[in-house]
Chains A and B, each alone.
Chain A
Amino acid sequence: MSGFPALTSGHRPVGVVSFAQHDNVRRDGEHNDVEMLLPVIAEVFGNVGITKDDVGFICSGSTDYLVGGPFSFVGALDAVGVWPPRAESHVEMDGAWALYEAWVLLQEGEIDSALVYSFGRSSPGNLSEILALQLDPYYMAPLWPDPCSLAALQAQALIDTGRASEADFAAVAARARRSALGNPKAQLAYDRSPEELLREDYEVAPLRRHALPPLTDGCAAIVLAAGDRAYELCERPAFITGIDHRVETHALGARDLTRSASTTLAGQKAGVGKAGVDVAELHAPFAHQELILVDALGLADDVEVSPSGGALAANPIMSAGLIRIGEASTRIWSGLADRAVAHATSGPCLQQNLVCVLEGV
């Protein structure tokens, strides 16, 4: 045991001690949600030699619209086996927010560990249409704008400021997919030059195919443990030294799309700038959004960004944010990083953002 990192006064040290994710695939037409989760839950417990009966709280993240039936999270509980009855909750959000809820509960000291998981599939329905239902139901949803079209509005606004160009987007995509070559869970990985990528057609101008995330089926799970329990389960826990999330207005025309004010604020509250950052796993589904996020978090040039390939390499909806926290944690466990930042986003054009600072001792 090596002690705990410095924390905000009154906070309890809580660490990520285990992480598992499903293979990220374009379409799993074979398994249902429970069957996809079963091996992931087994792995996340198996990694640290515990069972479902050892955790004090369970929290999941998912959304009903992906498969077109209400209460999808209810059936998914069967992948855990909540018997005898368990303290359990669910957010209709990315699993990163389920992790936040568990972290809050762990702060109170009654429990020492928690299971967090999330699941979601892009393949059962048409995600471009489904996500339009997240928009203002009177003014925007009736027009059925798809996420790529809205992201492209954001990208164009960024180009208009002169702070970035299509070539910058291609450079982000090329680096992310090259990094993904080293990630066995990546769905989309290649070694292609930005110049080559810029020859692709527009999907929605100014975004070309390379600037878009893949459509992914997947799920993920994390075990959190507090205090000494973290060291019992993990040699070098990834302690959460700051975590915060903020939301912006839904009205795209009332926001500065070229800045992520909510990420900046969450990053400040989480203490990103208090010390140097070795690695940042950013949930930027579209290439230009990584540029906005790096800027919003004030990350220095030497910070390694999304070594997993990020959401451009695999974007399992409702899990891609939680996976960023998992990926950043693996860097702490292995000693490749001492201080990491993980980020999750939700809503069109980076409407809601969570920032988590992870440190090893």
Chain B
Amino acid sequence: MADEGVHYSADHVLEYPYVRSVGPTVGAFLTGLRDGKVVGIRGTGGRVIVPPTEYDPDTGDETTDVVDVGPEGVVTSWSWVPRPRPKHPLQTPFAWILVRFDGADTSFLHVMPASGPDEVATGMRVRPEFAPEAERVGHVNDILHFVAVGGGA
């Protein structure tokens, strides 16, 4: 029996139930989502960082006060997914959007249903559609997705 050409392969699964402690700053944002609101935090020069981090993402300076923002915001960029992947938050065509909440100086990544690229545009006003209160746990998926404010771009 020739050994040459015997090529094996096997399925290999890496699967772990990570549980992360979030700390007070990330925790403030996730707590806000659970309670149906959006918060940011003040960074260098007083600018408002959303989603909030313990530090200003550019300077590394400690951030300070938690502030309410949104819930409406404006799309600062987008991309449109015609064929969602299995792990994507939505399983019908949708847009990834960067949203700058009213009162914020940075943008937040989330999704918005869109059957075509013409249903989303930079500059569009949007608002989050929260999951029902009983289903919210303090997670970015407590926002199901965003929708256009006033029904259009």
Contact = CB atoms under 8 A, between A and B. Distances in A.
A–B touching in complex (CB under 8 Å) = yes
Interface of A: 29-30, 68-69, 124, 128-129, 132, 137-140, 142-146, 149-150, 152-157, 160, 201-202, 204-207, 249-254, 257
Interface stretch (B51-59, B64-72, B128-136): B51-59
A29 B6 CA distance: 11
Most buried by B among A152, A205, A207: A205
B79 A206 contact: yes
A143 B111 contact: yes
Nearest to B43: A254
Interface string B74-118: 001111111001011100000010101000001111110000010
B98 A152 contact: no
A318 B105 CA distance: 34
Contact of B51 (A137, A139, A154): A139
Given A29-B9, A68-B12, A142-B139, A153 B96 contact: yes
A290 B5 CA distance: 41
Contacts, number: 108
Contacts of A29: 7, 9
A70 to B, nearest CB: 10
B110 A143 contact: yes
A254 B106 contact: yes
A202 B80 contact: yes
A254 B57 contact: yes
B87 A157 contact: no
B130 to A, nearest CB: 16
Contact of B26 (A132, A138, A202, A207): A138
A250 B57 contact: yes
B70 to A, nearest CB: 13
Contact of B106 (A129, A140, A251): A251
Contacts of A250: 57
A144 B140 CA distance: 12
A156 B122 contact: yes
Contacts of A149: 79, 81, 96
Nearest to B53: A251
Given A143-B89, A205-B79, A250-B57, A160 B108 contact: no
B85 A146 contact: yes
B77 A160 contact: yes
A143 B88 CA distance: 6
Nearest to B99: A253
A68 B139 contact: no
B31 interface: no
Contacts of B111: 143
A149 B81 CA distance: 7
Nearest to A137: B20
Nearest to B100: A253
Contacts of B80: 152, 202, 204-206
B14 interface: yes
Contact of B109 (A146, A249, A252): A252
B140 A155 contact: no
A254 B57 CA distance: 7
Contacts of B88: 143-145
A157 B77 contact: yes
B22 interface: yes
Contacts of A252: 98, 107, 109
